Structures are given as structure tokens and as C-alpha cells.
Structure 1
Amino acid sequence: MMDVSLRNLKLVNVIVKEGSVTKASEKLFLSQPALSHQLKKLEEEIGLKVFNRLNKKLILTETGQVLYRTSEKLLTSFNLLNAELDELKKGKKKKIRLTTECYTCYHWLPKVVQEFRKNNPEINVQINIEATKEPLQYLTEGKIDMAIVSSKSNNPSIKFEPLITDEMVVILSKENDLIDFERLELSDLKKQNLFLYDIPEEKNYVLTNILQNDISLVNSIQKVQLTEAILQLVSANLGISVMAKWAVTPFLKNNDLKIIPFRANQGQRDWFIASLDKITKIENSFIDQIKKDFKQ
């Protein structure tokens, strides 16, 4: 089995581009005899001639043409690889791959990306929506660089950095019996029908963290897929919902809706940036953009 090395491909590539062994040896910082020896050794190893020598000129054989075409592809990829590794070593990146564990985050995430790209047009931000189902799994498999999550895992390979804190609020119709409350306790929801997102129960923050999986705290629970559908049902006073304040605020132009916060820190939710490697300078810039948008 033949074993053509990258070094051999570079040898052929440089000889072709420089037009002679003499010029190629200067380019490769080799003596002419040393380069000629390497070329002869290559031809012996593969059992095929790479160049025909006509009137002191080197003409590629069919074998040589195959080697040269391949060298163009591989050396270009190799140079790009080295350049990318060099950028990473300097703490620079040209691409950020991320996801979030919550589909409702996609209400604000595109705007953050848009603002970030204004000052960093050379950075390609890729949002992996598929990874929302299992963000930490995608992270450990190397399919994304960062995940925006509201809960930590015990995996020692994953680093969690505090990102933002948002507030979960109760959304209700102005016809609802709770309308005059300034703040709410969980016990106040006893007679209410609660609309939640139709996602696996273990991933539903309201169910697991607000209600602590105690469905007896409300009269009933109904799962609905879309934010807009939930708010239509709430607006018709068919029940209430609990959402992040930033997620529901754009819909409050509907005069039939009102939001009421919980008492104490019941509705506080912490978000983290999960990553495997040290966060780069450009990734930190993106994180700063998230924090800036939330402050506004």
C-alpha cells in the first residue's frame, strides 16, 4: 500500500509552481541535491514517475498530475486549518455555535445576534435549534460551543458561568379574579387553570421549579405549543399562564392582558453559559451583548 505524505505533496506542488528544482529548493530551504534526492525517493516509493525531464524542464506525468491536483486541495485545507488553529490560540474565532435550552429564548436571541453582528460582521453566529432538545449533550459531543441554560449538571467537563437573571410572572386576563393582586403566592393559583408549553415535563421550568411538580397547586394544567395560542386562551379568561417577563412583554399591547409578579424570589430564574473550553474573547463579547440587551 502506498503512503504519500503531506511533505511529498508539498514537494511536488512547489516544484510545479516554481518551475524548476533549483527555485523549489530555495523556496523549501533545501539544497538542490537534497530536494532531488527526496523527489527520487518519492518516485521509488510509489513505483511511478512523477516528472518527465525534457530539455532540463520537468513535465508532470499522469501520476504527477494526480499528485499535484490532490496537493492543491489538501494544502489549501491544511493552510486553513493552521490559520484557524492560530486564531484559536490567540483567543480569536470566526464562528460561534450556540443553542438555548428554552424555545421561548428565540424571541430575543435573534435580536442579540443582529446587534452583535453590527460590530462584528466577520463573525458567523450559528444558532442550532435542534440542540435545544439536549443542549448539554450537543455541547459534550462538540456540536456547539456554548449553551444558554437555566440549570446546571454534575458533569465535571462542563463549565457554567452566570449570565442573566430573569423574572417569571403570572399572565392573566383583566377579567380574572386575581386582577387586583399586586403580587401572588402559589396558594393564590389554587382555582386557576394553568396553560403551559407542550414540552417534556422534566424540561418545563414552571412545572419543575415554580410548582415543584406539585400539580395540586392549580386546578388543572393544559399544554399548548405556541406562545401566541397560550396568550389567546389567557386573554379569553380561560385560564392563566406563567412565563418569563421578557417573553410576554411584547404581547402586552393587548389591553385584555396583565402580568403580576410572584412574592419574594419565587419567580427568579438564573441563566448560565455552559461551555467546555475557556470562553474566548469574541464569545465574551457576545455574552456582553446578551447582558446589555437584557438591561435595556
Structure 2
Amino acid sequence: MDVSLRNLKLVNVIVKEGSVTKASEKLFLSQPALSHQLKKLEEEIGLKVFNRLNKKLILTEVGQILFDNSEKMLVSMNQLNSELDEIKKGKKKKIRLTTECYTCYHWLPSVIQEFRKSNPAITVQIDIEATKEPLQYLMEGAIDLAIVSTRSHHSSIHFEPLITDEMVAVVSKDNPLCTLEKLNLTDLIHQNLILYDIPEEKNYVLTNILHNNIGLVNSIQKVQLTEAIIELVSANLGISVMAKWSVAPFIHTKNLEIIPFDASLGKRNWSVASLHKISNIEHSFIDEVKKAFLDV
């Protein structure tokens, strides 16, 4: 029995696209050609890969094994091709990265600037589009590093601890909460909570602070930009919860107070995710990120 990488990719794409029709478009094949390849694979291994139920393809036990292994093999092949490409071009001269948090991008440029002072030949490329799905982009080989606060159990992804930051409540000086030294979740019951307008499952405040219990606040308002959130909070039209370093630039110029949460509720751990052992030059960049947060 000889299962090729081509066969593994075939199964992988069918599963991820959800149908033979969509998979054929992804692989630039006609639907009959792809169906023929799938039938040939099942004949060669003598086992069913998919059960067909009401025009839907459902993985068999064998199919699940093939799909699980395809995830590992395709990641390895992407990494191999990337490494070979670097060798062909000489040595690595570019670090491609993203973060899962849109607001991180206001401090990244200064970190890159400091890094380039001692590493002028290295280009650091920020992929903002990858912010939406950093680990997916990492798995596809589109980036080298992802700065994330959530981890995956995927065996191919390596996570290295980076920093721990603090989520704090941001309130107007005219808000009664501003007299508190520490904040409990019960203190939010009468507040309009202003959050970033991102998918709820990716909103750290909703998932990790409120634990998806929106009944802890009076109402929730979603806004896209940090500056807009700051203006609304400053006008006492609501409160917000964001990283301490994110609100720090506005504290001295706006009508704002920041209040930490009681206990360790606001602590958030960040990691650097990669598909490979982090290189010395990448470690140098990571050290610059850590230094940027020492005084926050």
C-alpha cells in the first residue's frame, strides 16, 4: 500500500472545502477528474475513505486517519519548501509575523525600528490580514511567527511564552466606578460596555473576562477603533476593558481612569507560535518585544 502526498492533499482539501465540487475548484481540477482520483485512491488501498450520505461525504475511520496525517505532512512539506527556498536565496533575511490582536500594531513599528538598529539586513514584514486567523496562516506557511494569547493543541505548532499583560477597566473620571481601587465583575452590572467590533468568539473580554455571560453588564456596544472607544468612554457614555498598554497613551490627555480587576482576572498570557525551532535572529526580535513591555 502506497499513499502519496498527492492523495493526502486530495483528502485534506475535500474535508476542508466540504464537497467534491468546491475541492475541485481549489485544486484546479474538473469534478469528474477529482472523483476519479478519489475512487482510484479507495481502490488502491482497498478501503473506503468517505461514506456518501445524501450527497454528503463523511469520513470513515480510515479517512479520519488519512486526514489527521495529511495535516501533519502538509505542514511539514510547506516548512520544507520554505527552508529550501531560504537556502536557495542565501540566508534568511525576512521575518514574517502577525498578532491576533489588532491593537498590537501601534507598538510593533517601534519594536521593529529598535530591532533594525542592530539587524539592518533583516526585514520584518507584518501581515495584518493574518490577524484574523494567525494560526491558520502559520499552518499554511504564510507567516513565520504569530503573537497570540490563545493556544492550539496542534502537534505541529510550537509555543514559546512571550509576555503577560493586564486587562483593565477604562472609565471616565465622571463615572462612579472611578473611585474604586479594584474592580469585581459585579461592579459592571449597570454599565454600558464598549468593546472592539470583532467576532464574539475572538473577543478576549467576552470569552475570558465575562466568560460569555453578557448579563454581567447592562448593555454592550461595539466599536471598531481604539480612538473612538476612548472618546466614548471619556464622555462617560460607557466603560471599556482593554490592555493597560493599549490605553496608556491616552491617560494623560483624556478624562480617563484605569481600574485593575480583583485577583488575577485581568492577566493575559501571550506566546510566540511557530512551526519550527525559533532561530537566533527571531529570538533577537522577540527580546525586543519583551523589552518594549518592561515599563508598561
TM-score, normalised to structure 2, is: 0.70
Question: What is the 5 A alignment of 1:1-296?
Answer: 84-85=86-87, 93-296=92-295
Sequence identity, in percent?
69
Query: Shift in Å at residue 133 of structure 1?
Result: 0.6
Contact 1:93 1:280 in 2 (8 A): no
CA distance in 2 between counterparts of 1:273 and 1:133 reads 16
Q: Deviations over 1:108-167 (max 9, x none)?
A: 111111110111110010000000011001000000000000000111110111000000
Secondary structure at 1:213 match in 2: coil
Query: Shift in Å at residue 171 of structure 1?
Result: 0.3
| Amino acid in the other structure paired with 1:214 | N
CA distance in 1 between counterparts of 2:86 and 2:136 reads 25
Secondary structure at 1:178 match in 2: helix
| Amino acid in the other structure paired with 1:270 | N
Query: Shift in Å at residue 84 of structure 1?
Result: 3.6
The farther-off stretch of 248-257 and 183-192 is 248-257
CA distance in 1 between counterparts of 2:203 and 2:217 reads 16
CA distance in 1 between counterparts of 2:162 and 2:92 reads 21
| Amino acid in the other structure paired with 1:85 | I
- Indicate how the Cα distance of structure 1 residues 82 and 132 shifts in structure 2: closer, same or farther if over 3 A, else same: closer
Q: What is residue 71 of structure 1 aligned with on the other side?
A: none
| Amino acid in the other structure paired with 1:252 | I
Contact 1:96 1:123 in 2 (8 A): yes
Secondary structure at 1:184 match in 2: coil
Query: RMSD in angstroms over aligned alpha carbons?
Result: 1.6
- Indicate how the Cα distance of structure 1 residues 279 and 178 shifts in structure 2: closer, same or farther if over 3 A, else same: same
CA distance in 2 between counterparts of 1:134 and 1:82 reads 26
TM-score, normalised to structure 1, is: 0.70
| Amino acid in the other structure paired with 1:106 | Y
Give the aligned length. 213
The farther-off stretch of 263-272 and 250-259 is 250-259
CA distance in 1 between counterparts of 2:117 and 2:136 reads 31
Q: Deviations over 1:228-268 (max 9, x none)?
A: 10010000101100000000000112241110100110100
- Structure of higher CA gyration radius: 1
Structure 1 moving runs of 4+ over 2 Å: 81-84
CA distance in 1 between counterparts of 2:187 and 2:85 reads 60
- Indicate how the Cα distance of structure 1 residues 87 and 222 shifts in structure 2: closer, same or farther if over 3 A, else same: same
